[in-house]
Structure 1
Amino acid sequence: MQIYNVFHPWLLHLDDGQPLPGQAQELPPPVNAEAPEEEQEWEVDEVVDSRMNRAKTDTATKKRGLLEYKLQYRGYEGWNETPSWQPYWDAAGCPHLVADYHHRYPRKPGPHMTFQTPTDWEPLL
């Protein structure tokens, strides 16, 4: 009598991940919990400049003229050499720096009408 190693398909299943007794199981690689690059928040180091871009429309007021800032980010020296203009909402995470900038340069455009000076902010001397 011959015996063949033949198994019916319903007996076959994927590994359930449980090691056999005495078998070492490798740990899975760490999960990257960072948000995709377009969703990451960069830490603003300084507000460099502001302008009113008349070619764009402000989404909050629905009027022509969008307040833009040039921001320098911590740890991004290549970007900081020639920063580009960014809409005011990109500076929403650094209200103290925005308040400092507008205190130093009161004739520059801004702050935006939605901006609220932090209650714990004090002007730099």
Structure 2
Amino acid sequence: QEFSRYTHQIAMGIERLKTSQTRLCELAIGGTAVGTGINTPKGFGKFVAKTLNELTQLPFIDAPNKFEALATHDTMVELSGALNTLAVSLVKIANDIRLLGSGPRCGIGELVLPENEPGSSIMP
């Protein structure tokens, strides 16, 4: 039961990253300085996105709203939050495993981790 929670936490963290990743591929190119696109050739943003797709094999798209894409950093904040959430989840999982494996005298000792190799961490 406990390990199913860990796998779900990690899966949700990965899902948050994937959601952010799709918005990171929106390009504001062709929006000029403020997002109006004035004096930019028609279809320029789509052309650049398509060219970058071919060169990088990444799913770049022309941003649907150039004003928003140029003026805000919401997607970067969203990605930062998703990375932070995943990092906190991984630290919690590591601490739980450490606590469950503590013992045998003063710890919980519910989890016995196999030794990787004989010897100590200082002198393997």
Determine if the TM-score, normalized by the shorter chain, exceeds 0.5: no
TM-score if structure 2 supplies the norm length?
Answer: 0.23
Give 1 or 2: higher helix fraction: 2
TM-score if structure 1 supplies the norm length?
Answer: 0.23
Flag the structure with larger Rg: 1
**Larger RCO: 1 or 2 (CA < 8 Å, sep 6+):** 2
Give 1 or 2: higher strand fraction: 1
